[in-house]
Structure 1
Amino acid sequence: MGDGGVGRRTFLAAMTGSGAAATAAADPAADPAAAETADGAAGGPEAEIRALVGRMTVAEKLGQLQQLAWTGATGPGGSQTASAEQAARKGELGSVLNIFGARHSNALQRIAVEESRLGIPLVFGLDVIHGFWTTFPIPLAQAASFDPEVARVDGEVSAKEARSNGIHWTFSPMMDVTHEPRWGRIAESCGEDPCLTSAFAAAKTRGYQGGDLAAKDRVAACAKHFVAYGGAEGGRDYNTVDVSESRLRNLYLPPFKAALDAGCATVMASFNTLSGIPAHANSHTLTEILKEDWEFDGVVVSDWNGVGELLPHGFAADGADAGRIALTAGVDMEMVSTHLADHGAELLASGRIKEDRLDDAVARVLRLKYALGLFAQPYVEEAEAVPGPTPQTRKAAREVAARSMVLLKNEGEVLPIGPGKAVAVVGPFADSRDMQGTWAGPGGEKFPPVTVLHGMRDGAGRGARVTYGVGATKAADVVVVVVGEGAKLSGEAASRSDLGLPGDQEELIEAVAATGIPFVVVLLNGRPLTVGNWVESASAVLEAWHPGIEGGHAIADVLYGKVNPGGKLPASFPRNVGQVPVHYNHENTGRPYDPKSPGNTYVTGYSDVERTPQFPFGYGLSYTTFEIGTPKASVARIGAGELRRGETFEVEVSVRNVGEVAGDEVVQLYVHDPVASLVQPVRRLRGFERVALGVGEAKVVRFVLGAEDLGFWTNAVDGRFVVEAGRVDLYVGSSSDARSACTIQVD
């Protein structure tokens, strides 16, 4: 993984010291010499893995590549509980997903370790996306913080809760860059930009894994979905993706590389086809790029029934063919479908799959188990299982939620709500517990969130009055209208063709507007919405997303001014659904829209709607005001060869709080190459920093840029990165509309 195998060394280092002695104890036939390498002194884990693979039967090898689902799992394949127990007993099972709870996982683990021939432990996986017991805001919301530390905190808390409850492996982070708000899984993503997504992917990976996967409070991360899942046509989930090699490498691949450079242990293949080849059958991405170019030595797991879906894709003739194609392309473990386990022996005997490829896949699975310390300690201490959220984790979730909110509008300084103000809270989500969002984890049902009404009543100062219901608005100084979309309207298989507020919520906003009372609209949603029909009538608009278990308190913290909002949009908000896709990092055309020449109709765009989004990427207001100066580059010229040899330069800019309260500004740096051999995006985010400033305080922000920031990947299939000579424009500001600029010359 990574240049020079940096990621590979990071992953292998986590395995040093895994217990070969436990392997020998579980397997009476084990080579005693292997046990002597427990501390890596005489060959290390790789020697142990090779020895163990050499003792395995074909059925046991194929079993290590099989992941089955536990009771309660839904979707294609259904529950496989009984099959999992039987396979574990025979030593023909590698992993189980959707089982959790220390007692339950230990019981199944004992079958595998104490009753099978070789005693190889199972690895247990679960979708811990934005919390286990303590539900944090959805990933899209976290990206709005423009602070990767929030993702690291989520990962760390989630890992501790999950590992103590028997989970070793989470199918997260999801890092699918997307320009499609209609796509439900944008809620699980970090939005439309690869630079922002890369930073959050690396941070979340570090939060989950820490420095030692064998630690009792860490889990293995999984970079998903590999690759370009976010490019689904029409935003329809699971749909076709057709991209050039350059767009694949410049837009969709960078976050995966960042996660692997951070040591991410596993990768999941995606559901989509990629330029006609299903991702589970794509040797170019899974083997040539991932395993060869990036030297990834971890596990590639299929998505749910992803191998089986090669049949309806029309890419495999039958189950045996599907298993052959997936394994050969680079899939190491099959989730839910059982084509490799069912047909692998026959495929091997006939030469349709190769023994060295089979052994490689098995070794990768065993490598993960060694890294997790499962050979040394396959069980969890049931008395140490974390039973639920703690005051500390709730505090962390509350802080992250408030940090992730974006102030979209604030006319007349309606916000923050002043002391003693009478507040009416109305709307279908005012006292709703539907705030956790998609993939909320087991804590989503067991530990209900704080509602907005509850949070507002807790947050109101002494003597303040908070009432609930439309009838209460007459006596209110400020009305808080809480609207949005429920969790089931975003996430997997929840694409929408209409991005407006569902039902009669817009009519409710219009009715409140008709009263003439100042009002705030709080949005609870899992995607960018169209707000054009009502946004002008609202005094203020707060994008709160699906904020998690402490959402009501966090919203109150922002509305009452205990927290000054500093979040920015990680994805553009379209004016209407017909604009989609509309995103900041688009390429120019031969007839680009020029706002200085609005009368020219022969330009790209639509005749019935403005060409710009309602709110652009990187946009967000504050209760204070900031001034960002003119950027200055540390060099006027730099050689392309110098950049390719690792030389860097700095861009610095000053930012000052010129308002009346302390607050955060996100300083954003964008790059544009105006003349290139491949048409470049009009802007590319290449740096950002969230800066906290007191009243009157100033700070100089510095960004370090190098070849990866000024160059790009061409359409060469084997991957060619170039840094070309010419002028480069550097923009710095508070959103993707930044106008302050400087230039450098690449020679």
Structure 2
Amino acid sequence: MVNGAPAIPRLGIPKYDWWNEGLHGVARSGYATVFPQAMGMAATWDTPLLGEIGTTISTEARAKYNQAMHDDLHSIYFGLTIWSPNINIFRDPRWGRGQETYGEDPYLTGRLGVAFVRGLQGDDPKYLKVAATPKHFAVHSGPESTRHKFNAQPSAHDLADTYFPAFRAMVKDADAASIMCSYNEVDGDPACGNKMLLQQTLREDWGFKGYVTSDCGAVDDFFMSYGHHYSPDAEHAAASALLAGMDLNCGNTYEVLTKAVKDGLVPESAIDTAVKRDFTARFKLGMFDPAEDVPYNRIPFREDDSAAHQALALRTARESMVLLKNDDSFLPLKPEGKTIAVIGPNAASLIALEGNYNAVPSHPVLPVDGLREEFHGAKILYAQGSSYAAGLSVPAPRTLFHPSDAAAEEGLKAEYFASSDFTGKPVATRVDAQIDFDWNGTLHPLAGLDGKAFSARWTGTITPPTPGDYTFGVWLANCYPCGDREHYVVKLDGKEVATFTSNEKEEARDSHTPDFHLNFTDTKPHAIEIEYAHSAPLFGAGLTLTWQPPVEALRAQAVKVAEKSDVVVAFVGLTSNLEGEELQVHVDGFAGGDRTDIHLPKEQRDLLEALGATGKPLVVVLMNGSALAVDWAQQHARAILEAWYPGEAGGTAIAETLEGKNNPAGRLPVTFYASTDQLPPFDDYAMKNRTYRYFTGTPLYGFGYGLSYTHFAYSDLQLSAEKLNAGDTLKVSAEVKNTGSREGDEVAELYLTPPKTDVSPIHALESFQRIHLAPGESRRVEFELSPRQLSQVDDKGNRSVDAGEYGIFVGGQQPEEGKGISSTFHIAGQQALPR
């Protein structure tokens, strides 16, 4: 009943670790296909695509599991219980983990989540492909700094209208095998010990038959000093969670349950119930049946990170692109014979592709490299331009390095050795543009290298932009569990300036090691050597050389590059080192993984303004996991493209979109507010004035917004009836035509405006379809609205179909005059609906 479940030899049951991640690729266990971060997947508004992604992730999870069983490996991150998707409602853009969700809308989240879970779990009538675990139940969306003790107190209306519907869909429509409960309290009881959530709602109201797992360490929060102060000790905490209906503990607190039974805190029958639920899942996964009886056991390891899966990652990245601005059709670019300046901290950053809870990409395409590949008829100039925010480190850019004094090529000479002590001849020698590598859990980082023991040496020159004292550092790959030996040495002009060796007994390690300083009295090339050695039973390889760049000098470099160019493409935004889960980041605009200000950080705003002052046309590409207020860019840039954290093929998809090979059709799954001032307090879980459904202000870009390189027109809206009885379904159809000169996708969005009450939404998304149309082509889109889609929730949390006049809108964004077509209909009577 703990995630690291030991073997039971007398029953022939091997040990099993329930903890595995598959948010947008199988994470932390070596190379796997890396799809765009979940927010980017949501921006596709493509339900069948989410199903394909889920299927692909489960195929790769099975491939890894099957190989692990062959190798007698029973480690964390190689199991078949996938703790995804994250379907919490992204109610506030300041939450750092919002990137992991499908956005702010309950309906969109539910439909995408259902498709993803079905793809994960497969369609075999007897066996689960993997067990999906939608999370975090419930009312969980920050702040990260107080998540272990925060008490969410939503109104009955908001609970039923916003926070519950997607989870209900996971149970009722997707038949999810498990659910993860959250850290926070809900109405005074910790979510993992909350009978209203786990018994009344999940099992009694929705009929859930699977198992409930805790978020990691959540039961510790019941009694630890930093937590809820809910239980006096571990025994009482474990008893409370078990009796509330939590079956599996990520952590070790449940190890005291034997004593809790002896002390009379819980009956043994409660343990029997939980164990039955846990083992039912393992039986459904085929873990105790003959291997030949389970069809998924035949998935070979070569299915992991296959060419077909990589192609799907590229398709997803293409579909996730959201065009926010395009003055006078400035995009697509016409690059032949032009010079393009590629500038910004995200132009050559691996983590900006990956997001968090990510798989490890075998062939990541950074944006600057994607543009060089796509725009082969243009000259590409690159400059980093700025850090992300004042005082933060950023990967050291390739422009600092050359493999030798005489080389014009950027980067460092790299030699890779098949030993952890640099002995023998290198198995590979090449030039690496920058030291920014993720090899976490990989069996073979390069051909001829064993991921358990290898070493690498980088040599060449470093040329500082100005004389001065520079702060550098090395980020190592996160590991949990560890048990590895990581060692590096940095030499400048032949003298050792930094060294580090990890503690092999560490159970976990974050990525940061102590900073070191390099002092330069000139701007001449200096010899640099970096040696890295890795040995580990399984996890933890990878490193990134970082620096804290001189702000003014870096910006001046970028301006010089811009002045030599015909057009500037600026890659700005965030990374999962700034927004994420419970991070140790406290700088202007950021706190503990969350944001305190939703504007683009000042250093990057200053960079954009300096680039704009050159007079060169400016295209801004945003890479981030949540909404950014980019008012200056909206006013001054010629075009703005939202690319999210786009996954392994992100650089290719961005370049193809800028060039026009990919016609963008993504839609925003969140509201882009104009400023932080438009938001209620972060820790207020009331939905009033939050998300497009209840926000009464004017956003920078609305939920559902996105432009195209072509144009679409809507006509002939038809309803199956103008008058319905409560409980009837409504069929809606409309004609959509591509009136432009390019083929492209359109997302037809259907919004319902209900009769007004004190708690009614302004309007709400109730259906959508993504379709492809050639120039001049028309297609009829059809929607069928169930009674539940035609219902709303009252102030007491009761859902019903109510009498009155309703509005229907179908178009390419939210209801707005001239952007779609609308009609009205009436419902007679009332029908109460189940919770």
Normalized against structure 1, the TM-score is what?
0.77
- Measured after TM superposition, the shift of residue 515 of structure 1 is 1.5
Which of the numbers 132, 144, 151 marks the counterpart of 1:240? 151
| CA displacement at 1:117 relative to structure 2 | 4.1
Superposed displacement of residue 67, structure 1: 1.6
Shift of 1:709: 1.3
- For 2:280 and 2:136, the matched residues in 1 are separated by 21
Q: Which of 293-302 and 117-126 deviates more?
A: 117-126
Q: For each residue in 1:248-272, what CA deviation from the matched residue of structure 2 results, as whole angstroms up to 9, or x when unmatched?
A: 1221111112222212111000111
Instruction: Please give the alpha-carbon distance, in whole angstroms, between the structure 1 residues aligned to 2:747 and 2:15.
Output: 46
Residue from 245, 248, 264 that aligns with 1:333:
248
Distance 2:299 2:186 in 1: 47
Map Cα deviations across residues 440-491 of structure 1 (whole Å, 9 max, x no partner): 43515xx362111110111115x33222233332342221111111221122
* Structure 2 match to 1:733: 811
In the other structure, the counterpart of 2:35 is 136
Q: Which residue of the partner structure matches residue 353 of structure 1?
A: 266
1:403 counterpart (298, 301, 319): 319
Partner of 1:432: 349
| Segment drifting more, 115-124 vs 623-632 | 115-124
Q: Distance in 2 between matches of 1:377 and 1:315?
A: 45
Instruction: Provide closer, same or farther for how the CA distance between residues 675 and 519 of structure 1 changes in structure 2, counting only shifts above 3 A.
Output: closer
Residues 1:119 and 2:13 are matched in the alignment = yes
Preserved contact between residue 352 and residue 574 of structure 2 (Cα < 8 Å): no
Q: Which stretch of the first structure deviates more once superposed, 725-734 or 550-559?
A: 725-734
3-state SS of 2:266 partner = coil
Corresponding residue to 2:379 among 444, 465, 468: 465
The one-character-per-residue Cα deviations of 1:223-273 (angstroms, maximum 9, x if unpaired) are 11111112x469965543221222112211111122222121110001111
The whole-number CA distance in structure 2 between the counterparts of 1:683 and 1:440 is 33
Q: As a proportion of its length, which structure holds more strand?
A: 2
Q: What's 1:257 paired with?
A: 168
Matched with 1:672 is: 753
Q: Is the 8 A contact 1:414 1:539 kept in 2?
A: yes
Moved more, 496-505 or 510-519: 496-505
CA gap of 1:582–1:531, structure 2 versus 1, over 3 A, is farther
| 1:684 paired residue number | 764
For residues 237 and 550 of structure 1, do their structure 2 counterparts lie closer, same or farther at Cα, with a shift above 3 Å needed? Answer: farther
Matched letter for residue 25 of structure 2: G
User: What is the CA–CA distance in structure 1 between the aligned matches of 2:695 and 2:359, rounded to whole Å?
Assistant: 47
Alignment equivalent of 1:693, drawn from 743, 766, 773: 773
1:165 counterpart SS class: helix
Map of 1:623 onto structure 2: 709
**SS of equivalent to 1:670:** strand
> 1:495/1:448 Cα in 2 relative to 1: closer, same or farther (>3 Å)?
farther
Counterpart secondary structure, 2:769: strand
Deviation at 1:214, TM superposition (A): 7.5
- SS of 1:376's partner is coil
The residue type equivalent to 2:2 in the other structure is Q
266-275 or 236-245, larger mean C-alpha shift: 236-245
AA at the equivalent of 1:578: D
Give the match's secondary structure for 1:309: helix
SS of the residue 2:136 aligns to? strand
**Superposition deviation, residue 386 in structure 1:** 4.1
Post-superposition offset of 1:185: 0.9
CA drift at 1:679? 2.2
One-letter amino acid of the counterpart of residue 56, structure 2: V
Counterpart residue type for residue 743 of structure 1: T
Is this contact kept in 2: 1:407–1:567, CA < 8 A? yes
TM superposition shift of 1:700? 1.6
Q: Which residue of 2 aligns with 1:66?
A: 2
- The 8 Å contact of residues 164 and 384 in structure 1, kept in 2 or not, is answered as yes
Checking the alignment, whether the CA contact within 8 Å between 1:237 and 1:492 is kept in structure 2 is no
Distance 1:693 1:501 in 2: 35
Moved more, 431-440 or 535-544: 431-440
Query: Given that residues 158 and 687 in structure 2 are in contact (C-alpha distance below 8 angstroms), is that contact kept between their aligned partners in structure 1?
Result: no
Cα distance in 1 for residues equivalent to 2:286 and 2:718: 49
Cα RMSD of the aligned pairs, angstroms, is 2.7
Cα distance between partner residues in 1 of 2:681 and 2:33 = 34
- Superposed displacement of residue 737, structure 1: 3.7
Taking the aligned partners of 1:586 and 1:448, their CA distance within structure 2 comes to 44
Q: Once the 2 structures are TM-superposed, how far is the Cα of residue 145 of structure 1 from its aligned partner?
A: 0.7
**Shift, 1:383, TM fit:** 11
The CA distance in 1 between the partners of 2:348 and 2:244, in whole Å, is: 50
C-alpha distance in structure 2 between counterparts of 1:234 and 1:565, whole Å:
33
Deviations 1:43-76 (A, max 9, x none): xxxxxxxxxxxxxxxxxxxxxx1223xxxxxxxx
- Partner of residue 40, structure 1: none
SS at match of 2:110: helix
Structure 2 Cα separation of the partners of residues 638 and 682 of structure 1? 22
Which amino acid letter does the alignment assign opposite residue 656 of structure 2? D
Aligned equivalents of 1:459, 1:582: Cα separation in 2: 44
Kept in 2, the 8 Å contact 1:123–1:369? The answer is no
Asked if the contact 1:587–1:679 (Cα under 8 Å) also holds between the matched residues in 2, the reply is no
The residue number in structure 2 matching 1:703 is 783
**Contact 1:630/1:732, CA 8 A, preserved across alignment:** no
For residues 362-511 of structure 1, the aligned pairs below 5 Å read 362-377=275-290, 384-386=300-302, 389-420=305-336, 421-444=338-361, 447=362, 449-461=364-376, 463-469=377-383, 470=558, 471-493=560-582, 494-502=593-601, 504-511=603-610
Aligned-pair distance for 1:381?
7.7
Q: 2: CA distance between counterparts of 1:552 and 1:541?
A: 16
Given the alignment of the two structures, is residue 305 of structure 1 paired with residue 217 of structure 2, yes or no?
yes
Is the counterpart of residue 163 in structure 1 residue 71 in structure 2? no
Distance change (3 Å), C-alpha of 1:234 and 1:134: closer
Match of 1:150 in 2: 49
Tell me the CA shift for residue 499 of structure 1. 1.8
- Conserved in 2, the CA contact under 8 Å of 1:126 and 1:170? yes
Q: TM-score, normalised by structure 2?
A: 0.69
Whole-Å separation in 2 of the counterparts to 1:168 and 1:259: 18
- Aligned counterpart in structure 2 of residue 290 of structure 1, from 176, 197, 202: 202
Task: Name the SS of the counterpart of 2:123 in structure 1.
Answer: coil
What amino acid is the match of 2:249?
E
Distance 1:337 1:580, change over 3 A: farther
Q: Tell me if structure 2 keeps the 8 A contact 1:588–1:680.
A: no
The structural deviation recorded for 1:351 is: 3.7
Tell me, which stretches of 5 or more residues in structure 2 are unaligned?
Answer: 27-31, 66-78, 384-557, 583-592, 829-835
The structure-2 alpha-carbon separation of the partners of 1:503 and 1:377, relative to structure 1 and needing over 3 Å to count, comes to farther
Partner of 1:524: 623
Greater mean alpha carbon deviation, residues 467-476 or residues 126-135: 467-476
1:467 partner SS: strand
Match of 1:565 in 2: 664
Q: Distance in 2 between matches of 1:557 and 1:384?
A: 33
> Which structure is higher in helix share?
1
Deviations 1:108-138 (A, max 9, x none): xxxxxxx344536635431221112111000
Deviation at 1:432, TM superposition (A): 2.0
Q: Is the 8 A contact 1:626 1:655 kept in 2?
A: yes
Amino acid at match of 1:366: F
Q: Secondary structure at the match of 2:631?
A: coil
User: CA distance change for structure 1 residues 604 and 496 in 2, over 3 Å: closer, same or farther?
Assistant: closer
Matches within 5 A, 1:183-222: 183-212=95-124, 218-222=129-133
| CA shift for structure 1 position 355 | 3.2
Give the Å deviation of 1:604.
9.8
Instruction: Give the 3 Å change call, closer, same or farther, for CA 164–215 of structure 1 in structure 2.
Output: farther
Give the drift of 1:353.
Answer: 1.6
Cα distance in 2 for partners of 1:130, 1:737 equals 31
Partner residue of 1:648 out of 729, 748, 754: 729
Q: For 1:705, give the aligned amino acid.
A: L
How far apart, CA to CA, are the structure 1 residues paired with 2:678 and 2:134? 30
Contact 1:521–1:542, Cα closer than 8 Å, also in 2 = yes
Deviation string, structure 1 residues 538-579 (Cα, Å, up to 9, x no partner):
000000000011110010111111110000100001111121
CA distance in 2 between partners of 1:480 and 1:271 (Å): 41
- Identity, % of aligned positions: 34
Aligned counterparts of 1:182 and 1:368: Cα–Cα separation in 2? 36
- Give the CA deviation at 1:197: 0.2
8 Å CA contact retained: 2:96, 2:144:
no
